[in-house]
Structure 1
Amino acid sequence: MAGFLSELVQYRRLLLMLVVLGIGGTHLSGFQMSVINYTSPYIQKFINETWLERYGSVLPQERLMLLWSLIVSVYCMGGMIGCLCSGCLTAAFGKKKSLLFNDVVLVTAALLTASSRRAKAFEMILAGRFLEGIAAALALSCLLPLGIHMNAHVQYAGEISPKKLRGFINVTSTVFLALGKTVARILGLRELLGTEDMWNLLLSFSGLVALIQLIFLPFFPESPPYLLLQKEDKAGCLKAMKQLWGEGNYQTEFDDLMKEKAITKGTKIMNVLEVLREGSVRPQLCTMLLLLLSLQLCGLSAITFYTSEIFETANLHESIIPYVSLGVSISELISIIFCSSIIDRCGRRLLLCGGYLLMALILVLLETSLLLSDQFLWLRYCSVILIFLFIIAYGLGPAGAVVAVMNEIFTLSTRASAFVIGGIIIWLGLTFTGMVFPFAVMLLGPFCFLIFVAVLVISVVLIYLFLPETKGKSTSEITEKFKSCRFKRKHHQPVEMYAAEEKTFCTRL
């Protein structure tokens, strides 16, 4: 306990910076991910009233739905632009300046949204949503959002962390993501801002949070790796380490950065096309592809789709359902916080494999309870409990570990562009699942859970075989691990020898 308190005092400035990063980073992604659900009926009514006042006629239902879908989708359009711009911004200006720029965009978007009712212009909501989308590429169904503030936040947090706390600090981005969803559900209650008179203030709440980050972030330094590897400022790097980590000997961390600098000497920050063409980065890209697709296809979208139906069949009163949904968000938040406290002890692979296996087991039980709920009414309540358990398993494992691994397997010269590629993978995956999943539900019903069970089991096997443990290792060491664990056969080695070497390394915890 004494050791924990001493570390808390030593790293107090680092923890303060994590709070400042989080509230204006992934917290906003989580908030914007959930808040639109609470304002939907009020925005549609506002559009109707505005149209009637302007043109003296009622807006047809088809056109109303078109405008509403445009308000929802324009956020995603801006999100794709934000995703593509984030790599260039973080590489050219650093994570700190990128986040400050992002805050200015968000404050502008909040002002537009907050003023829309007084101006009687729903077009201002469209403009505000587009700017918010540029600031954050929204990933639906509680997936990993990759926009300017997500990219910059995750990379920034990973780069300012000492090696022994790297897993914990990387997971904080997911903690704040879950916190944002929880805050949105709290503020969206009818007793607070989820009312017809306050919905525009609820939508613009993100601007207040961005303003707080805009004020306090300039008091903190740029990340040490960025200062040393890109700006070649050794003195500034050491100064930033002491500012963030307190007084102490950080020669080991500095030597690790110097090794990475030697490896990447003469190598500029790569753009997306250069990273795709770089053969030495392909194992890391394949790993990222595996992790992101497994996260998207883990069954969370199916759980989200069936949650309301399961709550209704369990005879939960309509007025209670928002509080039960809030309980689901709080469960996710608590489980991710717990994940952040154990990830540096358990390692990334154990959390990923264990979390996915537990999620697969819960989906099998949920499938069984849904099929038999008409025969045994008490199984409907078991289904509600299983939803909570699934969210907890998701938070304990993949929700935190995926972000940690993604931030650790790339060097500074490739990280920004790799995150852009990751964002594109997510958007393509979302487009595919968004088009296919409703038809799968229509054809298979609750049997669609079996698809996700198969995906989870296959993901566990591939992660176990091909993902090296990154716990406690520097970026240069992780790069060497990937080099020794090839995805392709080496022509000058016998197949049997290579297979033996691959098995020996890749399956070792």
Structure 2
Amino acid sequence: MACITRPTMLQRLTLLLDCPLVIVAIFISGIGGTFQYGFGISVVASPSTYIKELVNQTCIRRYNVYIQEWQLSLIWSFTVSIFSIGGLLGSLLAAPFLAIVGRRNCLLFNNFVAITGAVLMLLSQTATSFEMIMVGRFLSGINSGISLSAHSLYLTECTPKMLQAMVGVTIGTFIGIGKFSGQLLGLSELLGAEDRWPWLLGFSGFTAIFQLVTLPFLPESPKYLLLNRVDEPACEKAMMRLWGNKDHSRELEEMLVEKAAHQNIQSHSVMELIRERSVRWQLMTIIVTFISLQLSGINAVYFYSYDVFRAAGIHEYQLRYSALGMGMCEMFSYLVCFMIIDRIGKKLLLFAGYVVVAITLVLLTITIYLQHQIFWVSYCSMVLIFTFLFCFCLGPGGVIVPLPGQIFTQAFKASAITVSWTLNWTGMFVVGMIFPILVEHLDSFCFVVFLLVCLVSALFVYFNVPEMSNKTALEIAADFDRMHSKSGRSKGEKTDEQSCDVFKRYETKF
């Protein structure tokens, strides 16, 4: 096959600017998509004291009972963790909804769940009911679980192949924006005050309303229209709206090749995905990378950051601004990833990201252990914390999130995304449960557990994952097959020849 010159960064940015509706889709799908996930993670940290007071007030007014400290801690822990339980349920519901109602409509209807949860949390103080916060957090989790899958799938399918790697980074970027927004709005000068914290919890409802009003003006994803609904005219119309009045015959041809390769095949269930040998290595890639999202040490670094900042002499009332600095570091990292991912490639970013993160965790373990013995070591720990965040978001954080929608063909996408985010939510819940125990028994040496995960993930990516940038799902499948087949390159070449034969069958259409 002929060698195609890789477009420069400037050419890709020019192409993106020539697709203004794709830019609009990035923002609209993001603000009601992965933004909700990031916001839900960070929003409860600031009003935690006020929520605990509401729990006490509710029990006194309703039962005339003063609850004990351990009971309050148990209720608070459940209020925080129920978000993950809702997210897990949302991930399991995402696949059938995505297949039945489509990518855009799934995002659209999901906003009603977010609005309901936000209203319950907004009225919780007025009703003197902490249970309303629990239910609201549970519904917010369901919304986040569905939106993570729907947002990543909708956006990758609405983007030209040449821009998919670059635009895919924005999916993770909106997670960072959501976290930062929760931290920023949680300041006492904004919505983190005693009389305004319910508005902070209910803010996600406003972003859901924004998406509910604006999303209907965007088309359904072209790939869904062609491969799921078998509506070629609607697909071409959607491509013209999203990508401009140009010749899109190549993109349509590639979709038709995928359609021909999976003729008369319906969307596969999760169990069918697990049993299917032809996508075994793609599934293994998803399992390893999504487990590493939660077990890479990101939560441990955030946990120890406050101790490090205190040891560096930062006053208690200034710690919240340090957290804002960490949020800004995340967003800057995603921006850098957005600019370089096509030049460097996803595989190298993943591998190098894991390796540097593991090295950073080794150094961070040493500096945190020594920070009370040598005064200047705490400043080294601060630098390492920001280094960790930068490398994590630049590599795994920016690359992994859109991966299921890019390396699986249409028949497996919805199930693959369900598996991916189910692993993510399960990992979040497990880490939330066992992390305090790790800290209690291992202290700063808990980082050793996470760095081992990073090293194993790095080795897996290096030996088992091909480069994935600027390739269709069929091309990536052929590369996986070539890398892991016993016959090596010859089998891969055969796969390429078969793909070319399918292309030729459709040349007369264009």
Shared fold (TM-score greater than 0.5)?
yes
In structure 1, the residue matched to 2:56 is 48
SS in 1 for 2:204: helix
Does structure 2 conserve the Cα–Cα contact (< 8 Å) formed by 1:51 and 1:59? yes
Whether contact under 8 Å (2:360, 2:388) holds in the other structure is yes
* Superposition pairs of residues 419-458 of structure 1, within 5 angstroms: 419-458=417-456
The one-letter amino acid of 1:300's match is I
Amino acid at match of 1:196: E
Q: Give the CA deviation at 1:450.
A: 2.8
Letter in 1 for 2:413: R
State the match for 2:504 in structure 1: none
- Classify the secondary structure of the residue corresponding to 1:320: helix
| CA gap 1:68/1:264 in 2 versus in 1, 3 angstroms | same
> Equivalent residue of 2:408, what SS?
coil
2:77, 2:218 → 1: CA distance? 40
Q: Secondary structure at the match of 2:45?
A: helix
**Contact map agreement 1:182 1:329 (CA 8 A) in 2:** yes
Identify the residue that residue 85 of structure 2 maps to in structure 1.
Answer: 77
Give the superposition deviation at 1:439: 3.4
Pairwise CA distance, 1:501: 8.8
Letter aligned with residue 411 of structure 1: T
Query: Identical aligned pairs, as a percentage?
Result: 40
Equivalent positions of 1:257-268 (< 5 A) are 257-268=255-266
Distance, in Å, in 1 between the alignment partners of 2:481 and 2:185 is 48
Give the match's secondary structure for 1:375: coil
| Separation in 2, partners of 1:355, 1:2 | 24
Q: Distance in 1 between matches of 2:54 and 2:385?
A: 35
Consecutive unaligned residues in structure 2, runs of 5 or more: 1-8, 493-510
Q: In the alignment, what sits opposite 2:112?
A: 104
Give 1:360's aligned residue: 358
The CA deviation string for residues 124-148 of structure 1, in whole angstroms up to 9 with x for no partner, is: 2222122112112xxxxxxxxxx10
Taking the aligned partners of 1:39 and 1:77, their CA distance within structure 2 comes to 21
Letter in 1 for 2:42: S
Relative to structure 1, the CA distance from residue 237 to residue 336 in structure 2 (aligned partners, 3 Å threshold; closer, same or farther) is same
- Give the whole-Å Cα distance in 1 for the aligned partners of 2:176 and 2:60: 39
**Superposed, which structure 2 residues align to 1:131-280 within 5 Å?**
131-136=139-144, 147-280=145-278
Q: Deviations along 1:17-63, whole A, 9 cap, x unmatched?
A: 11000000001111111001111110111121232223334333343
Match 1:13 to one of 21, 30, 52:
21
SS of the residue 1:37 aligns to = coil
Q: 1:438 to 1:69 in 2, by over 3 A?
A: closer
- Alignment check: 8 A CA contact 1:256 1:476 kept: no
The answer on 1:293 being equivalent to 2:291 is yes
Which letter maps to 2:133? I
AA paired with 1:40?
S
What is aligned with 1:462?
A: 460
User: CA, structure 1 residues 382+134, in 2 after alignment: closer, same or farther (shift >3 Å)?
Assistant: same
Are positions 1:335 and 2:343 aligned together?
Answer: no
Q: 3-state SS of the aligned residue for 2:44?
A: helix
Structure 1 residues 50, 218: CA separation in 2 closer, same or farther (over 3 Å shift)?
same
Per-residue CA deviations over 1:253-303 (Å, capped at 9, x if unaligned) read: 111101100011110011111211212121111111111122222221221
Secondary structure of 2:401's counterpart equals: helix
Alpha-carbon distance between aligned partners in 1 of 2:459 and 2:278, rounded to the nearest angstrom: 23
Paired amino acid for 1:59: I
Query: Shift in Å at residue 357 of structure 1?
Result: 1.6
Match of 2:129 in 1: 121
**Partner of 2:466: helix, strand, or coil?**
coil
Letter in 1 for 2:268: M
Matches of 1:501 and 1:316, distance apart in 2 = 60
| Counterpart for residue 316 of structure 2 | 318
Quote the residue 1:35 is aligned against.
Answer: 43
Shift of 1:336: 0.7
Question: Alignment length, in residue pairs?
Answer: 484
Q: Which residue of 2 aligns with 1:60?
A: 68
Mark the runs of 5 or more structure 1 residues left unpaired by the alignment: 137-146, 503-509
Aligned CA-pair RMSD: 2.0
Q: Distance in 2 between matches of 1:501 and 1:265?
A: 22
8 Å CA contact 2:293–2:424 kept in 1: the answer is no
For residues 428 and 117 of structure 1, do their structure 2 counterparts lie closer, same or farther at Cα, with a shift above 3 Å needed? closer
Out of 377, 391, 401, which is 2:399 matched to?
A: 401
Match of 1:378 in 2: 376
**Any idea what the Cα deviations from partners look like across 1:366-395, whole Å, max 9, x if unmatched?**
222223323321111111111111101111
Whichever residue aligns with residue 250 of structure 2, its letter is T
Amino acid across the alignment from 1:467: V
The one-letter code of the counterpart of 1:132 is S
1:187–1:193: 8 Å Cα contact kept in structure 2?
yes
What is the Cα deviation at residue 3 of structure 1?
5.5
Q: 1:130 aligns with which of 131, 135, 138?
A: 138
Q: Distance in 2 between matches of 1:376 and 1:73?
A: 37
TM-score by structure 1 length?
A: 0.91
Q: Which runs of 4+ in 1 moved over 4 A?
A: 1-6, 498-502
Counterpart contact for 1:353–1:463, Cα < 8 Å: yes
Greater shift, 419-428 or 99-108, is seen at 419-428
**CA distance, structure 1, for counterparts of residue 128 and residue 436 of structure 2:** 36
What is the rounded CA distance, in whole Å, between the counterparts of 1:81 and 1:275 in structure 2?
Answer: 19
8 Å contact kept, 2:291–2:424: yes
Paired with 1:431 and 1:77, the residues of 2 have a C-alpha distance of 8
The answer to whether the Cα contact below 8 Å between 1:348 and 1:405 also exists between their aligned partners in 2 is no
Counterpart Cα distance in 1 of 2:490 and 2:258: 29
Whether contact under 8 Å (1:353, 1:464) holds in the other structure is yes
Hey, what's the Cα distance between the residues in 1 that align with 2:490 and 2:311?
53
Amino acid of the structure 2 residue aligned with 1:178:
G
- Shift of residue 342, structure 1, vs aligned partner: 1.2
Q: Which residue of 2 aligns with 1:507?
A: none
Looking at structure 2, the residues matched to 298 and 149 of structure 1 have their Cα atoms a distance apart, in angstroms, of 23
Deviates more, 1:70-79 or 1:162-171: 70-79
How far residue 431 of structure 1 moved from its aligned partner, in angstroms, is 4.5
CA distance in 2, matches of 1:75, 1:433: 14
SS at match of 2:123: helix
Change (3 A) 1:390 1:110: same
Distance 1:56 1:443, change over 3 A: closer
> Any idea what the Cα deviations from partners look like across 1:61-102, whole Å, max 9, x if unmatched?
343333323322332222222111011110111111111111
Please say if 1:412 is aligned against 2:420: no
Larger deviation, residues 177-186 vs 7-16: 7-16
Write out per-residue CA displacement over residues 195-243 of structure 1, whole angstroms, 9 at most, x where no aligned residue: 1111100000000000000000000000010000011111111111110
Query: Which residue of structure 2 aligns with residue 505 of structure 1?
Result: none
Measure how far apart 1:365 and its partner are: 2.0
